[in-house]
Amino acid sequence: MDDKKNILVIKLSKEHDEADNEFKERVTGKWKISPKRLDDVDYVVVLVLQEVVATYRLGDEFKYNRSTGRVENLELLEDDTYAKYIGQFVDYKTSNPATLSSESNLFGEAEK
């Protein structure tokens, strides 16, 4: 597994009963993370209560609000690189809802 921090982990507080486009809109949300930190990010993994619920490839475009320090409108592209982890639980405890992780840190402890 790779140790490069190229995964943006988005933690949602709970799953809502919503259409796919509404869910994706929540994921593209307003996240407190520096755009410079996203330079090396290739993938986005979405967790709800430590369960992997979605995976995407991060596109090239997003909006940055300098006054709030938040990125939003993340371009999320369908990708199956980490799709095998959907439905699995990971031990990824952090209070920040948007963080960077490596593949080995995020999936190294995934339940089989």
Mean pLDDT of the chain: 90
pLDDT confidence of residue 111:
45
Q: Answer whether residue 112 shows pLDDT above 50.
A: no
User: How many beta carbons lie within 10 A of that of residue 85, not counting itself?
Assistant: 18
pLDDT tier for residue 17 given thresholds of 50, 70 and 90 = low
Mean pLDDT of 83-91: 96
Q: Answer whether residue 38 shows pLDDT above 80.
A: yes
Helices (H), 5-57: 20-28
pLDDT tier for residue 3 given thresholds of 50, 70 and 90 = confident
pLDDT confidence of residue 89:
96
* Class of residue 70 by CB neighbours under 10 A (exposed 0-12, middle 13-18, buried 19+): middle
In this structure, are residues 57 and 16 in contact, taking their beta carbons and an 8 Å threshold?
A: no
Where are any strands of DSSP class E within 1-112? Answer: 7-12, 30-32, 43-48, 51-58, 63-65, 70-72, 76-78, 98-101
Q: Answer whether residue 78 shows pLDDT above 50.
A: yes
Residue 80 CA to residue 93 CA, distance in Å, equals 24
Residue with tokens 């933690």: 11
pLDDT confidence of residue 20:
75
Mean pLDDT of 81-99: 94
pLDDT confidence of residue 108:
86
Residue 96 CA to residue 112 CA, distance in Å, equals 26
